[in-house]
Structure 1
Amino acid sequence: MTAAHLADLLGPWAPEHGRLPDSLADAIADLVEQGFVPAGIMLPPQRELAASLGIARGTVASAVSILVERGYATARRGSGVRIRSGKATAQTGMSGRLFSFTNASAELADLSTGALPASRVAREVLAGGVRELDPYLDTDGYFPAGLPVLRQTIADYLTRRHTPTKPSEILVTTGAQHATQLAVRSVVAPGDLVLCDDPTYRGALEVFNSEGVRVQGIPMRGDGLDVALLEQAMKRGPELLYCQTSIHNPTGRTTSTTMRKAIAGVVNDSSVQVIEDCCSADLSLGVGAAPSLAGLVDPDRLIGCWTCSKLFWGGLRIGWIRASAPRIRVLTELRKVGDLATSVVDQLLAVRMLQRVEEARDERRTLLHDQLARTEAVLRELRPKWRWEPIHGGPCLWVDTGEDAALLAERAKRVGVKLAPGPRFSPHDGHRTMLRIPVWHDQESLRAALMVC
C-alpha cells in the first residue's frame, strides 16, 4: 500500500485537540478492522507516509508503536511494518480513490468530484412521475439485459450520433461503474496485464485493483495516448486496453481524429480487447457529442461503457454497455451473478430523458461554458501560479499546482475541504503536482474553499 493510497483511506483523521500519534493509530486501526487495510499488507515507509500526511516522521513512528502494542501490526527492523491477521478482516480491495462518493458532512467543501447536479431536463422528467409503469407490474420485473423500450431508445440515440447500433448490442446496467466492472470482469483474470491511459478515470483503477490485474499506464501526450509507447506495451501481451478518446477524465481533452485512427490501427494489429469509456462524450464544449473508437476498431473487440449520469443526474442509476450481440449475451449472463436487473422505474425515466438528449446536451454545454469562465477567473485571482491546458469538455480542469498536490489535499482535509490530487488518477501514483478541480461550483463556494486551503 502506497502512502498516497493510505492517506486517501484515512480521510480527515487529524483532530483539533489531542495527540496526533494516538489519532493516527486509531484511524489506521479502524481501517484494519473494517477490512480496508487487509491482513499481511505492508504499510508504507514511515518517511513517505509522514511526507504524504504533512506530519513529522516521529509522529508516524509513535503511531506505529501504538499499533504494534495494540496487536494491529508487527514491526521488524529492516523489514517494515506489516498488518497482523489477528486484527484484520477480509480484504475489500479498495484503494480509497472513490471516497469522494461517501456521504460527506454538510460542513465539508467537496472539490473532489466532478459529478454534476441534476439537469433541468432531469428535474422536469422526475417531476412528471412514471406514467408507463402499469404494463410492467404484471411481469416479474426482471429484465437482465434491460427493458426493450430502453435498449431501442439507446440504440436510436447512438445511431443518431453516427454510431449505428441495434438493441441487441445494448446491455443496460446500474450505472457506468457497474458497466465498467462488468466489462473488465468479462475480459481479464487475476494476474493479466491491463493497459490504460495515464492519468485515467479513478473508478476504473478501483476495478482493476479489485480484479487483481497488473496495470501499465500509457502517458497522455496532448491530444491522446502516446502511440509509440502503446505499440511497445502491446509487445508485453496485454489482455485489455482501457481508454477514453471522446472527453477524457480527468484532463478534459479530446483525442484528435488522426490520433484516434492511429490508436485503432495499433489495436487492430493486436489481439487486445478494448474497453472505451464514453461517459463524458456528451459533455463537449463544442457542438454535438465527441466521437469514439466505434467504427475504427474491430467491433468484436470493442466494448463501450456509457451513462446517463453526466447529462441528467447521478441519482438516476442508468448506464449501459455497447458491444457485439454475442458479447452482450455473455455479459448478460455474467451480470446475473451479482445483479439480476436494473430498476424498471429508473429505466422508464431514462427513456423519457433520452428522448430529450439534444436539449439536455445544450443545457449542459451552456452551464459548463459559463461555469468554466467563472472558475478560471477565481483560480487566476487566488492561485496565479497554477497552470492548466484548455479543455474540450467535461466538468473539471486538470490543474498543475507546481507543488505536492497530495500534501495540499491532506492539509485541505484539516480545514474541511476535499480535493482530488493527481495520484488518485494514476496507476503509478504519478502526477504529483496535479489537481482535478470541478468547474460547476458557484464562485463564492469555490473562493471560500480555496482561501482556507
Structure 2
Amino acid sequence: MAMTALDASELCRLLGRWTTGRATLTEDLVAALVELIDAGLVPAGALLPPQRGLATALRVSRGTVTAAYEALEARGHLATNRGSGSRVRSARSQLNGRPSGRLFSFTSAPVDIVDLSTGSLPASPVAADVLGRPLAGELTAYLATDGYFPAGLPVLRQAIADQYTRDGLPTRPQQILVTSGAQQATWLAVTSLAGSGDLVLMEEPTYRGALEAIRATDARVEGLPLSGGGLDVGQVRRALNRKPQTLYCQTAIHNPTGRSMTDAARGELAAVVNDAGLVTIEDTCSADLTLSGPAVARTLAGLVDPELLVTIGSASKLFWGGVRIGWIRASEPWIHGLVELRKAVDLASSVVDQLLAVELIGRTDVARAQRRAMLTDALAATEAELTAAFPDWRWHPIDGGSGLWVDTGQDAVALAEHGKRVGVRLAAGPGFSTYAGQRTFLRLPVWHEPTMLRAGLTALIP
C-alpha cells in the first residue's frame, strides 16, 4: 500500500483537544502524537506534515513542532531523513491503514465541549416511542435460530423494499442487503468496485465518511466540482477519458452542502453514466431530510441502468444513529456478491436492531414530517445565531440535511484549532475535501439548541 502523507489539517483533526495546560506545549504535543501512533490512527510509514505547516495549523511556534518531532525521533517513534521528512516507524504502529479520526473524535468528547463538528441528529420522536416498547414478542420467533442472517432479516428486507415501492421505485426484497449502518454499506460498495490504483470520481467537497472508505482501498480519488447545487456533469464527462472505475455521488441531499441536484442535471448525469457504463454508488442517506417539496428527494434510481447503480440508505438520519442499520439497494447479482464480501468481515447485523428497524420503517411518513418540522425551525434559529455572531460568514440556502456549509472567509483549520482551546469542536473544510482544500469552510450542524449554539459561537469570537 502507498505511504500515507498527512496534511496538517488532517493531523489537527486527529489530535483533537491536545493541550492540557499542565505541561509545556511541546510535551503536550509529543504525548498526543504518541497516543495517535500507538493507537495506529497515524499508521506505519505515514509522512507527518512539514514542521512549518503544522505549526501554522496548530497556532504554535515552529520551534514547538521541531522539538516535538525531535523528541519523537529520540523515542523511536519517527525516522527523519533530511529532504524527505519525518515518517512513523513501522515498529511503533499497531494498525496499518489510512487514519480517519472522524468517529474517534466523537467518542472522546469531554463533557465541557460544545460539539459543532457533527451533523448527526438526536433520536426522532418516532424512534423514542418505538425504542421505549419491549420487543419480546417479535424476538421470540428468532431465538430458536442461530441469529445470523447475512443478507438481513427477510422481514426487514421486505419492509425496506416496500418503502422504496411506496416512494415510487418498485423494489423486491432480493434487491436489498441490510448492513450494520450506512458506513459499512459504503465500505462494501467501494471495496467491491475499487482497489489499489483504481480511479474513483467523487464530488468536491464530499461526505467525509465515504472519502475515508475509498481511501482505505488505496484507490486514486479525483474530486469534481459542484455547480448549481450538484455535480458538474461536464466535468464527469471529461473525466471519463481517465478511465474511472466508479463514481460516488449524492444527487438527492448532498452532505456537506445540503443542496440538491436539479432534475435536469440529474437526468444529464444519468445519461452520461448509462452511455459510459460507469458503475455509480449513490449515497441517499440524507434523502429523507428535505425541507420543502416531496418528502423524499429524487435520486438516480429509475434513471440509471439498474446494473450500473448501487444505492446506499440508512435508518440513522431519519430515526437515530444508535440503531445501527443501513442498506444497499442494487440488482440481485450485485447483492449476491456483496453478501459474500460482507460475510468475510461481519456475519450479520444485530437481530434486535433489525426488528426495531422494521417498526421504525413502518412509520417513515411520520418520521419524515417530524424531521422536516424540527430541521426547519432549527435552521431558522441557527442562521439567526450565525448572522448575529459572524455577519461576514456566507452560505447558500439549503434544500435539506442537518448542516450548513459555511464560508468563513478565513483559515478554517486555524479557527478549528482556536476552537479546541476555547471548548468548541469544529469540522473544517479540508476533512470533506479530496485534496485537503475547502480551507475557508466549516460544516456546522443546524439542530443544536440556540443557547448552546450561541455559547459556542460566542467563544469563537476573537
Alignment partner of 2:91: what SS?
coil
Decide which of 36, 39, 48 is 2:44's aligned counterpart. 39
Which AA in structure 2 matches 1:187? L
Partner of 1:362: 369
Contact 1:242 1:276 in 2 (8 A): yes
Which AA in structure 2 matches 1:434? F
Q: Deviations over 1:343-392 (max 9, x none)?
A: 11111111111111101000000000000000001001111111110000
Partner of 1:240: 246
Q: Give the CA RMSD over aligned residues.
A: 1.2
Partner of 1:302: 309
Decide which of 442, 446, 451 is 2:453's aligned counterpart. 446
Note the C-alpha offset of 1:137.
Answer: 1.3
Which AA in structure 2 matches 1:162? G
Decide which of 16, 20, 30 is 1:15's aligned counterpart. 20
Q: Deviations over 1:289-314 (max 9, x none)?
A: 10100011110010000000111100
Q: Deviations over 1:219-257 (max 9, x none)?
A: 111221111111111111111100000000000001100
Note the C-alpha offset of 1:69.
Answer: 1.8
* 1:387 paired to 2:391: no
Partner of 1:200: 206
Note the C-alpha offset of 1:85.
Answer: 2.6
Note the C-alpha offset of 1:77.
Answer: 2.6
Which AA in structure 1 matches 2:272? V
* 1:334 paired to 2:351: no
Decide which of 342, 346, 351 is 1:344's aligned counterpart. 351
* 1:227 paired to 2:233: yes
Which AA in structure 2 matches 1:216? E
* 1:185 paired to 2:186: no
Contact 2:429 2:441 in 1 (8 A): yes
Note the C-alpha offset of 1:451.
Answer: 1.0
- Scaled by the length of structure 1, the TM-score of the pair is 0.98
Partner of 2:55: 50
CA distance in 2, matches of 1:82, 1:365: 48
Note the C-alpha offset of 1:107.
Answer: 1.3
Contact 2:392 2:408 in 1 (8 A): yes
Decide which of 137, 148, 153 is 1:147's aligned counterpart. 153
Alignment partner of 1:387: what SS?
coil
Q: Deviations over 1:18-47 (max 9, x none)?
A: 211121122112222221222222211111
Decide which of 8, 11, 27 is 2:32's aligned counterpart. 27
Residues 72/103 of structure 1: CA separation in 2 closer, same or farther (3 Å cut): closer
Contact 1:223 1:259 in 2 (8 A): no
Q: Which residues in structure 2 correspond to 1:152-191 (within 5 Å)? A: 152-191=158-197
Decide which of 315, 318, 323 is 2:322's aligned counterpart. 315
Q: Which moved more, 1:36-45 or 1:87-96?
A: 87-96
Alignment partner of 2:257: what SS?
coil
Which AA in structure 1 matches 2:189? A
Partner of 2:81: 76
CA distance in 2, matches of 1:99, 1:263: 35
Alignment partner of 1:304: what SS?
strand
Alignment partner of 2:398: what SS?
coil
Partner of 1:271: 277
Q: Which moved more, 1:68-77 or 1:52-61?
A: 68-77
Unpaired stretches in structure 1, ≥5 consecutive residues:
none
Decide which of 397, 406, 409 is 1:399's aligned counterpart. 406
CA distance in 2, matches of 1:376, 1:92: 38
CA distance in 1, matches of 2:60, 2:174: 55
Note the C-alpha offset of 1:100.
Answer: 4.1
Alignment partner of 1:138: what SS?
coil
Decide which of 268, 276, 289 is 2:296's aligned counterpart. 289
Sequence identity (%): 55
Unpaired stretches in structure 2, ≥5 consecutive residues:
1-5
CA distance in 1, matches of 2:16, 2:86: 21
Partner of 1:375: 382
CA distance in 1, matches of 2:452, 2:221: 37
Contact 1:67 1:73 in 2 (8 A): yes
Decide which of 99, 102, 106 is 1:101's aligned counterpart. 106
Q: Deviations over 1:85-116 (max 9, x none)?
A: 33333324223244443242211111111011
- Scaled by the length of structure 2, the TM-score of the pair is 0.96
Q: Which moved more, 1:132-141 or 1:82-91?
A: 82-91
CA distance in 2, matches of 1:271, 1:382: 48
How many residue pairs get matched? Answer: 453
Residues 41/207 of structure 1: CA separation in 2 closer, same or farther (3 Å cut): same
Partner of 2:3: none
CA distance in 1, matches of 2:299, 2:183: 19
Alignment partner of 2:287: what SS?
coil
